[in-house]
């Protein structure tokens, strides 16, 4: 039986939903290619949707680093893009330990390169990223329209972030009624390119309009999603409201106000099979709420691993992030003297990003040997070990669409100190007398992204952590028991899919659609 409820607004899922087949298009996926939380979502949300009966399949580019990790894929099809003439193969593999099929778009000249998904080994963006993701989007559209030679096609297309933003535009401009969901994981990344690139991509001329993908003299991939998708989802309810304001709208707020009827938030979740201190294979000592003393052993191990002073009584601060302005690492750097008032407070930072922050952190670490550890690389296991060892997570984000790091921290008892914005506001309950006695408190919030505000909240946390008595451990217990499992979010997505598929006209197995008036020849000059 299909759902009879329109329940996204009140957050309750009532009734049941019919299985819907979904193509989930995304630019990165854990465990093969990850730069941030998007990869976690691409891995865990489809699994949670499968568990409630949805036929979800993922499509990602076949990057070299990904291909190096897999062997048992199946070649499904080898064909040509009708509009662009480019040849591609679709490979299929199962996501590890899951029932989720993943299609890999194999176009060696675009994806078979060293480095990360978006950058070369030196961290510089690939100059042809517009082409790389435009062709990815063209393949997504072919798959959605059952024109890719697969014996499967989705009822609905679910796109994520700018890399997939052109797909809804191409699909709808081609006359398709196929429902499309577009999830905004971070509005700050828009995929904006100059007119010259728009011309080289040979997109329909009509896309160069302020009603379409033109954006203040550039072409904006994310606008393709924002304008053409049937529903827009942000990864937290607060962020859905925030991005309709000039402060957080990244100049898209006018458009988002216009599309407000279709915009809502569904909070991301945590896969507790992979993030749980009771059985995490990355950590040394497993523990739970009734064995918090064991947790201290992890701190000693981490101090050893990172060259920090071996000191079980030190309060260990942590920060795990892409080191960008968004994450507020500069607020931490400016506040270092207050955040590290004595040798009994230590800090570990795990992250890579802008060189100005990396340099600042290296300077801080060399001035405080044994007290500050800075790890400037990507290491999944270390992220888990830090969560299982540190006492306080500093997350002074200027904006935060959802944030998974604080959700993982809660489960591990690494108490978050967060700026009250976006998903941080939606997930962290501030410590005060009422929330402590009700057992709902989970962290320390501060109102503005300033160093003084951060330091004030941090002092509250430090005082409580150092106070004798059971207060701190009670806070850890209440934080660790919070439930942000993917199941809740998946059920909300399932209701949304169901609504959209129910209202869309039934489609033939093979779609015939208007030809998109783009130039058929291969794109020169790339």
- The per-residue DSSP string of 389-435 comes to H-SEEEE--S--SS-SHHHHHHHHT-EEEEES-HHHHHH-PBP-HHH
Q: How far apart are CA 328 and CA 339, in angstroms?
A: 14
Q: Give the nearest distance from C-beta 333 to ligand ADP in angstroms.
A: 17
Q: Which is nearer to ligand ADP, 21 or 352 (CB)?
A: 352
CB 130 within 8 A of CB 188: no
In 3D space, the residue among 283, 308, 307, 309 whose CA is nearest the CA of residue 297 turns out to be 283
Question: Distance between CA atoms of 233 and 226, rounded to whole angstroms?
Answer: 10
CA–CA dist 257, 255 (Å, integer): 5
Nearer to ligand ADP, 46 or 101 (CB): 46
Smallest distance from ligand ADP to CB 376, Å: 8
- Closer residue to ligand ADP (CB): 158 or 384: 384
Q: How far is the CB of 291 from ligand ADP (least distance, A)?
A: 24
The minimum distance between CB 36 and ligand ADP, in angstroms, equals: 3
CB atoms within 10 A of CB 34: 18
Name which of 179 and 269 has its Cβ closer to ligand ADP. 269
Q: Residue 186 or 192: which CB sits closer to ligand ADP?
A: 186
| Mutual angle of helices 471-480 and 405-412, in 10-degree steps | 120
Residue number, 30 or 228, with CB nearest to ligand ADP: 30
Q: How far is the CB of 383 from ligand ADP (least distance, A)?
A: 4
Nearer Cβ to ligand ADP (35/440) = 35
What stretch of H or E contains 386? helix 380-389
CB of 112 to ligand ADP, least distance (A): 25
Burial category of 359 from C-beta neighbours within 10 Å (exposed 0-12, middle 13-18, buried 19 and up): exposed
Instruction: Give 53's contacts (C-beta < 8 A, 6+ positions apart).
Output: 17, 19, 494
Sequence-distant (6+) residues with CB within 8 A of 524 are 200
Q: Closer CB to ligand ADP, residue 375 or residue 462?
A: 375
Q: In Å, how far from its chain's centre is CA 455?
A: 27
b vs e for 213-245, b when ≥16 Cβ sit within 10 Å of the residue's Cβ?
bbbeebbbbbbbbbbbbbbbbbbbbbbbbbbbe
Length of the chain: 526
Please answer whether residues 286 and 280 qualify as being in contact, where contact means their C-beta atoms are separated by less than 8 angstroms: yes
From the centroid of its chain, how far is CA 198? 27
Closer CB to ligand ADP, 163 or 172, in the complex? 163
Residue 388 C-beta: closest distance to ligand ADP, Å: 12
- Measured from the CB of residue 274, what is the shortest distance to ligand ADP in angstroms? 10
Please identify which residue in the block is written with the tokens 């002092």: 459
**Least gap, CB of 39 to ligand ADP (angstroms):** 8
145 vs 390, beta carbon nearer ligand ADP: 390
| Smallest distance from ligand ADP to CB 403, Å | 4
Extract the runs of DSSP E, i.e. beta strands, from 20-86: 21-25, 55-61, 74-80
Among all chains, which residue has been given the structure tokens 């891995």?
A: 43
* Minimum distance from residue 71 beta carbon to ligand ADP (Å): 25
107 versus 402: smaller Cβ distance to ligand ADP: 402
Binding-site ranges for ligand ADP (CB under 6 A): 36-38, 40, 320-322, 350-352, 378-380, 383, 402-405
């Amino acid at each position: 039986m299909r759902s009879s409820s329109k329940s996204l607004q009140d957050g309750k899922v009532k009734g049941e939903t019919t299985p819907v087949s979904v193509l989930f298009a995304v630019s990165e996926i854990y465990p093969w290619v990850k730069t941030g939380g998007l990869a976690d979502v691409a891995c865990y949300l489809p699994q949670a949707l499968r568990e409630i009966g949805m036929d979800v399949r993922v499509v990602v580019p076949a990057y070299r680093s990904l291909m190096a990790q897999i062997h048992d894929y199946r070649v499904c099809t080898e064909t040509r893009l009708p509009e662009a003439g480019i040849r591609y193969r679709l490979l299929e593999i199962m996501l590890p330990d899951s029932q989720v099929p993943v299609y890999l778009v194999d176009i060696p000249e675009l994806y078979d390169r060293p480095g990360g998904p978006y950058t070369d080994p030196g961290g510089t963006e690939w100059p042809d990223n517009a082409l790389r993701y435009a062709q990815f989007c063209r393949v997504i559209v072919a798959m959605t329209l059952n024109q890719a030679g697969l014996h499967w096609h989705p009822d609905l297309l679910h796109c994520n972030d700018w890399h997939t933003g052109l797909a809804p535009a191409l699909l709808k401009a081609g006359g398709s009624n196929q429902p499309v969901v577009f999830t905004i994981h971070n509005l700050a990344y828009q995929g904006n390119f100059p007119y010259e690139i728009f011309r080289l991509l040979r997109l329909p001329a009509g896309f160069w309009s302020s009603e379409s993908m033109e954006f203040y003299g550039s072409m904006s991939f994310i606008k393709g999603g924002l304008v053409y998708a049937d529903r827009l989802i942000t990864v937290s309810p607060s962020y859905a409201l925030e991005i309709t304001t000039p402060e957080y709208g990244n100049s898209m707020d006018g458009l988002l106000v216009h599309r407000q009827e279709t915009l809502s938030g569904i909070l991301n979740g945590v896969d507790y099979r992979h993030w749980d201190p009771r059985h995490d294979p990355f950590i040394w000592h497993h523990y739970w709420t009734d064995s918090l003393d064991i947790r201290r052993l992890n701190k000693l191990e981490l101090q050893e691993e990172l060259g920090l002073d071996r000191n079980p009584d030190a309060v260990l601060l942590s920060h795990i992030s892409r080191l960008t302005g968004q994450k507020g690492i500069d607020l931490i750097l400016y506040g270092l003297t207050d955040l590290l008032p004595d040798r009994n407070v230590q800090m570990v930072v795990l992250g890579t990003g802008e060189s100005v922050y990396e340099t600042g952190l290296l300077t801080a670490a060399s001035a405080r040997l044994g007290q500050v550890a800075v790890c400037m690389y990507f290491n999944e296991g270390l992220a888990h070990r830090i969560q299982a060892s540190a006492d306080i997570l500093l997350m002074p984000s200027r904006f935060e669409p959802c944030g998974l790091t604080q959700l993982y921290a809660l489960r591990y008892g690494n108490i978050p100190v967060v700026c009250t914005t976006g998903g941080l506001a939606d997930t962290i309950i501030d410590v005060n007398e009422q929330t402590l006695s009700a057992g709902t408190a989970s962290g320390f919030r501060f109102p503005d992204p300033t160093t003084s505000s951060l330091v004030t909240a941090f002092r509250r946390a430090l005082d409580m952590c150092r106070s004798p008595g059971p207060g701190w451990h009670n806070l850890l217990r209440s934080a660790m028991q919070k439930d942000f499992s993917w199941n809740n979010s998946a059920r909300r997505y399932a209701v949304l899919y169901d609504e959209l598929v129910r209202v869309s006209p039934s489609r033939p197995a093979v779609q015939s659609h208007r030809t998109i008036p783009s130039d058929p020849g291969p794109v020169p000059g790339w």
